[in-house]
Amino acid sequence: MTEQWKERQRPHRLERRYNFPDYNTLRDFLDRAAELSEQQGFYPDMGFGRDYVNITIHAPEGEDRLGDIQWQFAKMLDQLI
């Protein structure tokens, strides 16, 4: 797992910013991330601009820690790059 993911508290979550050289590369990543989300049934929060996307993966509701599913999904997103 890349060191780019930051684990945060209150609420428990993972955060990462991906930067891209241009909009087309960003768009390709977003399309692949959407397909991955559909396959896994897991939908992180995403906010993006022309050449970046910020992703937040929250711990399960009511949980005080991140589970294996959240870490695995983060790893799968990294593999899309």
Between 16 and 3, name the one with better pLDDT: 16
Q: How many domains does the chain divide into?
A: 1
- pLDDT at res. 3: 66
- pLDDT at res. 65: 87
**For residue 44, is the peptide bond before it cis, meaning its omega torsion is within 30 degrees of 0?**
no
Contacts of residue 4, defined as CB under 8 A and 6 or more positions apart, other chains included, come to 16, 17, 18, 78
For residues 77 and 33, the answer to whether their CB atoms sit within 8 Å is yes
| Alpha carbon 24 to its chain's center | 19
> 44-74, pLDDT tens digit by residue?
999 999 999 999 999 988 778 898 999 999 9
Q: What angle do CA 39, 18, 33 make, to 5 degrees?
A: 15
Select from 16, 76, 4, 9 the least CA-distant residue to 42.
76
In a domain, 24, yes or no: yes
State the residue range of the domain holding 14. Answer: 1-41
In a domain, 18, yes or no: yes
- % of the chain beyond a pLDDT of 70: 96
- pLDDT at res. 33: 97
